[in-house]
Structure 1
Amino acid sequence: METFRIDRIGGQGDGIAETPNGPVFASLTLPGETVRGRVSDGRLETAEIVAPSADRIAPVSPQYGDCGGCALQHWAAEPYLDWKREQVRLALARERVETEIEPTVAVPSGTRRRVALHARRGEDGRAILGFKARRSWRLVEVVACPVADPRIVQAIPALRRLADAFLEHPKSAPTLHVTWTLTGLDVDVTGVERRSGGGPSGDARSRAVAAAQAADLARLSLAGETLVMARQPKIAFGPATVALPAGGFLQAVPQAEDAMVSRAVAAVKGARKVADLFCGAGTFTFPLATVAPVIAADASKAGIDALKAGINTAKGMKAIAAEARDLFRRPLTPFDLKGCEAIVFDPPRAGAVEQTAQIAAAKAGVVVGVSCNPQTFARDARVLIDAGFRLERVTPVDQFLWSAHVELVGVFRR
């Protein structure tokens, strides 16, 4: 047994003790704590807390310590949010970017409207639903989840019965992507074995449909293919109501979405035309259209189709022109962006280096970058700054509560 003092929290949420032999990583620890345990491959897997930090608080999840989803639930709110802000600062510093970093926007517990529940067959033969254990493929069965919308948690017994229908093939490892919408639960199932027999049997599909109806799901789909729909799942984006495509992307927490959207809208006010790139089904598009005409683009044809249909649900908006286009292979050029005085872009985790280069060459005076990855945001920010933009400010957003994940909104002005 060895004893260590935790110096800091690393980017993945583990405590780090700096030693003469290199860093030692310890899950579920905090800066300043004295911990004890056996080290294997640089990790202290089961750290005994000898002297706890004054910032340690009691966790609220019954799966805490086993579930891999809430690595920082034991940390008091203020230092936890400050740490997320510091992760953004460090990412920007690696690209030599300095700017004002606002305090991290917090979100309440019990607000996540989108979760991914993994399904497996337990040793007793019953279907279990849960999240992956820390650093493992093993499932931790969910009995309660303090971050998820309570309406999703209440549906877990019914979702477990639904999952059972998709476990007929031994190679199937279903994941239920569960979203709470204005019309009820929307569930898209992925990970079902398709190589033998083309997917679930007719009996399995019938059982899944029956379970979905018994659970009063708005819709059940299999990898985007609708199996049964009682009601069209709908989401409000600004003044519009949009029919969510099966398996479509949606921000996980409404309060986090509101924080990002409100900052983007405030930044582009006064622009006579706005571009919304990687627009999905219109998360930013419709709020932006209350300010100015918008051109919107995204690779998802289903998302663009939903956006176009949503245009007719709202009044008082400026014109919206939407296009399905792969912005990695065919980024919008300065010619395409002609007349756009402001540009909003919200790319996937990989960032958007090709599209950013085109934005830098365009004439827009304001650019708003929304990101779920501070590292790729910083890389893209460097491109804009080198082209003459100034990163005015960045706002971290704690969309995924108690995780190491941090999102952000950055405002650039030429």
Structure 2
Amino acid sequence: MRETNLQVSELGHRGDGVARTDKGPVYVPGALPGETVTANVIDGRAKNPSFKTLSPDRITPVCRHYETCGGCALQHLAQAPYLVWKRELVAKALKDRGIVAEVSDTISATAGGRRRAVLTATRAGRHTLLGYHEKASHRLVDVTECPVLDPAIVNALPGLKSLAGDVLPRKGELRLTVLNTTAGLDVAIDKADKGYDRKIPSLSQKTVELDLARLSVNGEVLLEIRPPRLDMNGVGLTVAPGGFTQATQAGEEALSLLVCEGVGKAKTVADLFSGVGTFAFRLARQANVHAVEGDVGAMAAFDKALRNARGLKKVTFERRDLFRRPLVQEELEPFDAVVFDPPRAGAQAQAEQLARSKVKTVLAVSCNPATFARDVRLLLDGGYTLQSVTPVDQFHYSPHIEVVALLTRE
């Protein structure tokens, strides 16, 4: 097959280089803008590219697993252009919806590493592999280091692998979610072998030896040595096993600051898709808050933490599936401001109701620029004005980006 010369002009939304050709875009893995490569092109992708010219923005990756591991996409790009690329991901998503807006510089919120990791384990003969899948593959990379994780999690990898090995199913994989809390590591294993109860003595001993705060298997708490708490601005909260939290402490604080500043002097705030109360507990220092969430575990953790919280204004909450039953126009009337932070699918139904409401201030928070732009478009069409858009990067070296937008209505 004849090789093609390719001039890379930009980065795609997944971190691949993009070369524009007469036959359409060609995606070049590992390439950066300004680089020249030769490669065989199959179905719009460059295979085994040979680099002829390198970008001055290219740097040496910091992890030995980078060439194979699918967890990171851009360890070879310098920090400044990397943060510009993240901002452009948000700007492009907005532009695709016909929204021309000034997007602020990306806030880097990766300090300390990710406190929450979701790892996969499987068998390889008599050995256990624990890590992440290879790029575009079902094969697993056995991770021995990971520069994006909290060092406490990295140091525990050998022990976590041993735990996983005790309960691996005969076929397939299991998932291990680990969260670094103020009390130590909270480990939740899912898809473990159904006969794991035979291993409970061994698992309990290893939990003590690893000094874990808590170990859960298939949703059952096997041993809790200390309640695995998170500090939500002075409120102690214990999440459900494997429950969702913001990936980094720095990211949580950056997003919360933007939300609290955006709400301003509002006296009543609705926090929709509130999760465990990341924003609600902070907002309640300055306003009355009504939190709405559909996940049972998150609501239970929120309720328990609220019972012991001090110094907050009035806080109420309800469990509700906002995808099926969004707060409608009449229910939104009591609120001066609304915050919504949905999963990656976005909040289309809720945004449609907000667009019909008289709520003066809306804070849209998202981990998906595409659905974020769709929801913002609905709000703009409903009469809101976009005041600011701020990207927050807490997923270092990856294509993922958080974003916070402030919208107001006259």
- Could you tell me how far apart the structure 2 residues matched to 1:3 and 1:210 are? 59
Which of 284, 288, 298 in structure 1 is aligned with 2:283?
Answer: 288
1:196 corresponds in structure 2 to none
Partner of 1:286: helix, strand, or coil? Answer: helix
- Report the CA distance shift for 1:201/1:81 in structure 2 as closer, same or farther (over 3 A): closer
Q: Deviations over 1:342-378 (max 9, x none)?
A: 0000000000111111222232100001100010011
1:74 partner amino acid: H
Paired residues of 2:111 and 2:250 also in contact (CA < 8 A): no
Structure 1 unaligned regions, length at least 5:
194-198
Q: Deviations over 1:74-116 (max 9, x none)?
A: 1011111111111111100111112221000113454110111
- Could you tell me how far apart the structure 2 residues matched to 1:231 and 1:366 are? 40
- Could you tell me how far apart the structure 2 residues matched to 1:240 and 1:297 are? 18
Which of 214, 218, 242 in structure 2 is aligned with 1:247?
Answer: 242
**RMSD value, Cα:** 1.5
2:167 corresponds in structure 1 to 166
- Could you tell me how far apart the structure 2 residues matched to 1:73 and 1:323 are? 42
1:409 corresponds in structure 2 to 404
- Structure 1 position 183, deviation (Å): 0.7
2:147 corresponds in structure 1 to 146
1:88 corresponds in structure 2 to 90
2:155 partner amino acid: Q
Q: After the TM superposition, which residues 241-320 of structure 1 pair with which residues of structure 2 at under 5 Å, given as runs? A: 241-320=236-315
2:191 corresponds in structure 1 to 191
- Structure 1 position 12, deviation (Å): 1.1
Do structure 1's residue 177 and structure 2's residue 170 form an aligned pair? no
Structure 2 unaligned regions, length at least 5:
none
Partner of 1:336: helix, strand, or coil? Answer: helix
Q: Deviations over 1:6-53 (max 9, x none)?
A: 111111111111122222211111001011233333222332222110
Which of 105, 112, 115 in structure 1 is aligned with 2:114?
Answer: 112
TM-score (structure 2 length as normaliser): 0.96
- Could you tell me how far apart the structure 1 residues matched to 2:366 and 2:179 are? 21
Paired residues of 1:110 and 1:146 also in contact (CA < 8 A): no
Deviates more, 1:381-390 or 1:213-222: 213-222
2:70 partner amino acid: G
2:105 corresponds in structure 1 to 103
Paired residues of 2:131 and 2:141 also in contact (CA < 8 A): yes
- Could you tell me how far apart the structure 1 residues matched to 2:177 and 2:246 are? 13
Paired residues of 2:167 and 2:196 also in contact (CA < 8 A): no
Partner of 1:45: helix, strand, or coil? Answer: strand
Paired residues of 1:61 and 1:146 also in contact (CA < 8 A): yes
2:330 corresponds in structure 1 to 335
- Report the CA distance shift for 1:244/1:201 in structure 2 as closer, same or farther (over 3 A): closer
Partner of 1:38: helix, strand, or coil? Answer: strand
Paired residues of 2:110 and 2:395 also in contact (CA < 8 A): no
Figure out how many residues of one structure are paired with residues of the other and give that number: 407
Paired residues of 1:109 and 1:401 also in contact (CA < 8 A): no
Paired residues of 2:362 and 2:407 also in contact (CA < 8 A): yes
1:155 corresponds in structure 2 to 156
TM-score (structure 1 length as normaliser): 0.95
- Could you tell me how far apart the structure 2 residues matched to 1:52 and 1:238 are? 46
Deviates more, 1:322-331 or 1:368-377: 322-331
Partner of 1:360: helix, strand, or coil? Answer: helix
